[in-house]
Amino acid sequence: MDTAYLIAPVVGLFSALHCIGMCGGIVGALTFTLPERVRARTSRSLLFGVAYNTGRIISYALAGALFGWLGALVLAADSGSVAASLLRVIAAAVTIAVGFYITGWFPRLARVERLGEPLWRLLEPLGRRLLPVRSPARALLYGAVWGWLPCGLVYAMLIGAPARLTATGGAVYMALFGLGTLPVMLGVGLLAGRLRAIAYRPVPRVAAGGAVIGLGLFTLLSQSI
């Protein structure tokens, strides 16, 4: 089994501290705009949170399928296995870069977000039309739009999707990454203030980023063995 499928959700979990800083305000605002009868019941609030995040993860999977398909095209054009090995090395190197980004030591990675700004300008008005969110179905749609919000971390993970060499593999890879972020992002909706306070502390960020760097190094070394 490709270890990338095991690493992707772990990277998602550790990168959730970054997600809190970037998307925590969005989730918190959406939670507080829910009707009082919904916010008064944890189970109902959780249902909306699951719907938001399911939509987000579906969008990640769609993007992963596209990039995985591109990887398949590269593989088809390569008569040997050089391209596949190179794609995996690039994916491992990007994982290391993601780790440095999470720690705050490599903020320039955020510059790749500019690549998605034209698409976001088209989608963002659709998201506004879905507000206020009053049903789980509407929350699912809003989450699907939210999933295309320019994010350097997501874009960096997408660079690893072509190394899965199929559209299905790319979709699964990105979906697993999204699932890794799910526990913390659900917690943001319920405990927004507390989790955001933790996200801005340097020690948790360095610890999480260091873990991701370690995973990237493990993957990179395994390619050379």
Higher model confidence: residue 54 or residue 193?
A: 54
pLDDT tens per residue across span 9-42: 988 888 777 666 666 566 666 766 676 776 667 6
pLDDT tens per residue across span 66-92: 999 998 888 877 655 677 788 888 888
Residue span of the structural domain in which 85 resides? 4-224
pLDDT band at 212 (very low <50, low <70, confident <90, very high): confident
Structural domain count, the chain: 1
Write out the DSSP string of the chain. Answer: --THHHHHHHHHHHTHHHHHHHHHHHHHHHHHTS-HHHHT-HHHHHHHHHHHHHHHHHHHHHHHHHHHHHHHHHHHH-SSSHHHHHHHHHHHHHHHHHHHHHHTS-GGGGGGGGGGHHHHHHHHHHHHHTPSP-SHHHHHHHHHHHTTS--HHHHHHHTTGGGG-SHHHHHHHHHHHHHHHHHHHHHHHHSHHHHHHHHT-HHHHHHHHHHHHHHHHHHHHHHH-
pLDDT tens per residue across span 153-182: 888 889 889 988 899 999 999 999 999 988
What is the reported pTM?
Answer: 0.85
